[in-house]
Each structure stands twice: as C-alpha cells, then as structure tokens.
Structure 1
Amino acid sequence: MMLDLPTTHESALARMAAWGVTFDHFFDVGAAGGTWGKKIRNLWPETSIFFVEAAPAWVPQLKQAASRLGGRIEVLNAAAGDEDGDAYFRFDPDNPYGGALIDQPAEHAILVPKVRLDTVIEERALDGRFALKLDVHGAERTILTGARRFMEQCDFVVFETYNFGPATRRFGQMAVYFEEEFGLRCIDMAEPKWRPYDNALWQLDLYFVRPEGTRLAEWRLT
C-alpha cells in the first residue's frame, strides 16, 4: 500500500533519522535566518552546526539563533565558493532571501569574504561525517568545486532545486550529478511548489544520502 506522506522538511528529516542517517557536523549554506538549526538539533542534538551566509543583514538573527540553540554553533558571514578570497554579493533590497555572487561592482552589491568549504574544515581540523544544506539558487556546482574533500566525508545533502532554467538548477540533472560525482542517491523530497500562472511543477527540495549509510531495506536502479 502506498502511503501519502507529508512533504514538510520536518517530516522528511524525521524519515532521514528513522533510516539511520547520522552526522557529526551540519553545514547550512545560505542560512538566512537560521531556521534549520532548530530542525537539526531536534533530531540530531549532538551535532555541531555551521551557519554560512553571505548577506550581512542576516548575521544578527543568525547569532540570536545560535544563542538559543546552545553550544557548538558557528556563524560564518561569508559566501561559500570555489576559491578563497573576496567576491561581490549583489542583493535585492526588497527580498532578503535573494542574492548572488557577481564578478564586478554593481548597484546593490557589496564586497564579502568568499571561502571554500574545504578551507573551513581544514582550518578547524574537523573530523567525522558531514551533512550539507544548500539554498544557493543554482550555485551548487561552483560551491562543490571548493568542497571535494568535504564531500568525501559527507553522507547527507538537501538543497533547493527547480524544474526550469539551466541544467545546474534542474532537479533531474542535479540528481544524476550527485550520484555520479559523489555517490549520493536521491531518497526524498520536501515542499514542492507549483507556478501560480500555469500550475506547472516549479520548485522542490531534494534529499540525498549515501546508500551504505542508511537502514533502507534495498537500493535498486529499477
């Protein structure tokens, strides 16, 4: 019998925990207000959390979230990328959840630090296994170029993806990419959205795990 399961992030994360997904460090890239911190701590209370956010406007709220959640949390006001240095971050004054890295100065753009995830874990000598949440609007592959060592230790990834636009944003191509590049398989989804003007599937979050790290009954390609 097929079950009609809820598609909230909370329910999907609960399924991850029930399948035996575990990790030592959770990286929230594109953290915004830090709402994922509570979701993670509710199910994996011992994990450390890294909030990575390029927009300085979110930093006070992230620090408040870190204070409420207790220890083992670090706020990094930086953009994750393929190299270390600086980059211009262009933001939308009317949409705090938007923003993108660009190559040169522009209106509503500020200079921000840019860091590879590999640099973050190397500087802190982090051991153990990682989990990664990405909300970066198509910049996933650029960020993962600077996270090769990180991904070797990463067993769980969730990120926002789309049904339209470049291949680097579309969910089908990204599912193949994560399996071929990192050996991670798509196992769940959350919060699908449909376009209001034509009801086409527009956006959803995909969940990836390393098959050998779960208690699932079977993994088949059929």
Structure 2
Amino acid sequence: MKRTILRIVDSLLRPLRVKIVRSAQDDFEMSAAIQRIRDHNIAIESVIDIGASDGTWSVGAMKFFPDASFVAIEPLRERELALEYLKRKNMNFDYVLCVAGDSNTNEVMLNVSDDLDGSTVDGTGGNLRLVPAKTIDVIVSEKQMEGPFLLKFDTHGYELPILVGARETLENTNVIIMEVYNFKITDHAIRFHEMCSHMEKLGFRCYDIAGPLLRAYDKSFWQMDIFFCRDDSDIFSYSRYR
C-alpha cells in the first residue's frame, strides 16, 4: 500500500519534474524485514511473540503470515485486556500471561517500569512483582502448536534463560527475531555480538536486521532487531554481493 501511494504521488508530481525517492532506511523497517522472510520462502507455521506487550507486533506479522497460529507471551496483567480483545477478534491468536524462562516451577521477580514497556526480569528502577514463569517448550505443548516456528524476542536482556527453556522448540524453529543491545542493560544480559556468537552455537546465524536505534542520551548505537535463521539455510549457500 505504501509503495502504491508513492507511485501515485510520483505520477502527480511528474509534470513538475519532481520525484519521491524511497529512503534506504525503509529497508530496515520491521515490516520490510518480515517481508524478506516471505521473499526467502522460509516456512513458518507458528509464531511465538515473546514479550508481546499489547500484541501490536503480532497484528503486524499476521499480515505476512495469515495462516500461521500466533501465541503471545506477556507477563503484565495490565496488557490482558488488549490481548483478550485480539484473541476474540482473531481465531489464530492466543496468549499466555507469564514470563518465558528456563523453569516451570518458580515465579520470577519482574521489575515493572512506570511506562510498562521497560519492564524486565533483573531490571532496576521500577516496582517489583512476582509473576509466573513457563518454558517455551511447555507452552508449545499446552497450546498444541506445530512448527516450523518463528520466535520473536522483546525481552530486555532475559534472552538466555528463555533459550534454555526452548531447547525442543528450537529444533523446529526456522527464524528468530531478537531485540539485542550494544550495552549491558542488566547484570545477566549480553551484548549483540555475544548473542550472535551464542546463537551460532545453537545452530543459527544472523541474516538480516531491523530497527537500529540510537539512545537519547548521546546518540550512541543502542539496540536493533537481529533476524537469525538456521545455519543450513539456502541463504548462506551464496556468499557474493550480487
């Protein structure tokens, strides 16, 4: 739709010898990167949105994977109203109110930020709250989900325990979209280059990025979303630029 509008505007401006130029930044939008999953013909049957907030990301991803099943994982009860609305509206959407982690028996301490969006396990500066924890493997079993999977992480430094609890699911996962950081944002978080190394040990390689962000404090590189796919993907069979 966006490109169609730009073409229409270009046609209207043509008599004035003016043209709208598409910015290269558009390639780094989340929607463009998700479209490239489709362009690469990577099979996706189920999407697990970890750190789903109000489900906005899942809604956007449904446009690209309309036949996939979606499960959102979100620990904040304040988000349940929005997630319940999406569940009623979309037959292929469900949610679980919990933290995804490496255990199914313990509660974890969540640091809840004032704006909710910055809430994280092991965080600081917010209000502490005990919330239930489940592994991805158990959630997949309970929801009877089938792969190949796409896992999306927006988990603010708590990625490693989640990956531990997703061992079985990772065996049938084709794509992982993970928000990663250039700074050590919690005591247990790792930086983006360390995450790339860790993911290679699990059999996944970086093939795309989206949403690079500079921090407000000093415009230093803060975070981005890295797209990982399996290291035996056809993407890596071609090593040239053109």
TM-score class normalised by the smaller sequence = 0.7 to 0.9
Task: Give the secondary structure class of the aligned counterpart of 1:172.
Answer: helix
Task: Give the secondary structure class of the aligned counterpart of 1:87.
Answer: strand
Residues 90 and 195 of structure 1: is their aligned pair in 2 closer, same or farther, counting only changes over 3 Å?
Answer: closer
CA RMSD, Structure 1 to Structure 2 (Å)? 2.4
Q: Establish whether residue 77 from structure 1 lines up as the match of residue 97 from structure 2.
A: yes
Q: Which sits farther off after the overlay, 155-164 or 83-92?
A: 83-92
Q: 2:76 aligns with which of 55, 67, 72?
A: 55
Structure with greater Cα Rg: 2
> Which residue of structure 1 aligns with residue 140 of structure 2?
121
Asked if the contact 2:158/2:188 (under 8 Å) is kept, the reply is no
Distance 2:126 2:146 in 1: 41
> Which residue of structure 1 aligns with residue 161 of structure 2?
142
Distance 2:205 2:193 in 1: 12
Distance 2:166 2:236 in 1: 30
Q: 1:156 aligns with which of 171, 175, 182?
A: 175
Q: Establish whether residue 194 from structure 1 lines up as the match of residue 214 from structure 2.
A: yes
Residues 79 and 167 of structure 1: is their aligned pair in 2 closer, same or farther, counting only changes over 3 Å?
Answer: closer
Residues 124 and 157 of structure 1: is their aligned pair in 2 closer, same or farther, counting only changes over 3 Å?
Answer: same
Task: Give the secondary structure class of the aligned counterpart of 2:42.
Answer: coil
State the Cα distance separating 1:219 from its structure 2 match. 4.2
Q: 1:65 aligns with which of 55, 61, 86?
A: 86
Asked if the contact 2:86/2:93 (under 8 Å) is kept, the reply is no
State the Cα distance separating 1:125 from its structure 2 match. 3.9
State the Cα distance separating 1:156 from its structure 2 match. 0.4
State the Cα distance separating 1:217 from its structure 2 match. 7.3
Q: TM-score, normalising length from structure 2?
A: 0.80
State the Cα distance separating 1:167 from its structure 2 match. 8.0
Q: Percentage identity across aligned positions?
A: 27
Q: 1:44 aligns with which of 65, 89, 93?
A: 65
Distance 2:29 2:171 in 1: 28
Instruction: Structure 2 unaligned segments of length 5 or more: list them.
Output: 1-22
Counting matched residue pairs gives 213
**Greater relative contact order: 1 or 2 (C-alpha under 8 angstroms, separation 6 or more)?**
1
